[in-house]
Amino acid sequence: MKPFLAEEMEPGADVQSDDGLLQFCRTAGATVYHPVGTCSMGTGSDSVVTPELKVRGINGLRIADGSIMPRLVSGNTNAAIVMIGEKASDLILSDAK
């Protein structure tokens, strides 16, 4: 590719050390993925959220977003998160009866 390269754009020719490259990665790095899985859902005592989307140890609080997903879906997260919201509304309505 060198014959097609006019100049290095980023991190720039002045960044040559491992520390410099690491610092560039820390400041410029990003992800295109939506974070999920920060509030694990499950039946075990180590899970934050029950399968009914209730937060363990806090009455009246449910989590209905991507944080309960155990892993990122291969497609856009929008549909999966809408489904979580729909399930949450069904659970809330069922409990209200």
By annotation, the residues acting in catalysis are: 34
In DSSP terms, which residues pair with 62 in a beta bridge?
54
Identify residue 90 by its one-letter amino acid code. Answer: D
Do 52 and 88 contact (CB within 8 A), yes or no? no
Exposed/middle/buried for residue 15 (C-beta within 10 Å: 0-12, 13-18, 19+): middle
